[in-house]
Structure 1
Amino acid sequence: MKTFISSATAFYILAPGEKLSRGKMNPDISRMYVIYQDNLIWTYRYKWINGWEKPTDDVFSTENDALNSAYDHFLLSKIK
């Protein structure tokens, strides 16, 4: 698992087949994204107030594309 933190928001990037466990999450961060591979496609989920959400139905061919989409979602949420 790789972790990227920006403005008190954690982005967890899981290796193919890896699961996110509570023990690996930073307990001081309430806003987070998890980027993961599901079969051969990459996607992500977002968690803040309402539990885990799927902000988009888009799927991505690479980990980087999924991370960029998650970060774009994060930036847009900061504007609202």
Structure 2
Amino acid sequence: MKIFKTAGSRFLFMALYEKLLDEPDDGYSSTYVIWPRKNGKWDVRWKWAGDWEEIAPHQFDTENAAFNYAYDHNAERQRRLENSSRKQ
């Protein structure tokens, strides 16, 4: 597993057939997992509080495309949090 951490979020990159047995508990509030499917496509899930959520409407052709989608999801989520805190 490869791990990329940024701005309170982490991105876990799994290998084919690798299992996420014990999620690393290192204080990050938001986690994305990206892994290859048997069909050659890439999938992504997000966990903030509770269970893993499917955030993409489809699987991706490359690991990079899946990561870009997850990263954009994270950036948009951060923008919404910042905007809501400014309004308060």
TM-score (norm 2): 0.82
- Provide the aligned C-alpha RMSD in A: 1.3
Shift of 1:47: 0.2
Counterparts of 1:65 and 1:20, CA distance in 2: 21
Shift of 1:30: 2.6
Aligned-pair identity in percent equals 35
2:21 is aligned with 1:21: yes
Where do residues 31-42 of structure 1 align in structure 2 (5 Å cutoff)?
31-39=30-38, 40-42=40-42
The structure with the largest strand share of the pair is 1
Where do residues 1-80 of structure 1 align in structure 2 (5 Å cutoff)?
1-22=1-22, 25-39=24-38, 40-80=40-80
Shift of 1:38: 1.4
Shift of 1:8: 1.2
Counterparts of 1:12 and 1:44, CA distance in 2: 10
TM-score (norm 1): 0.89
**Across the two proteins, how many residue pairs are aligned to each other?**
79
Counterparts of 1:15 and 1:53, CA distance in 2: 20
Moved over 2 A (4+): none
Task: Spell out, residue by residue over 1:15-62, the C-alpha distance to the aligned partner (whole angstroms, 9 max, x if none).
Answer: 11111121x513312310000111111010000024210011221111
Greater Rg, structure 1 or structure 2?
2
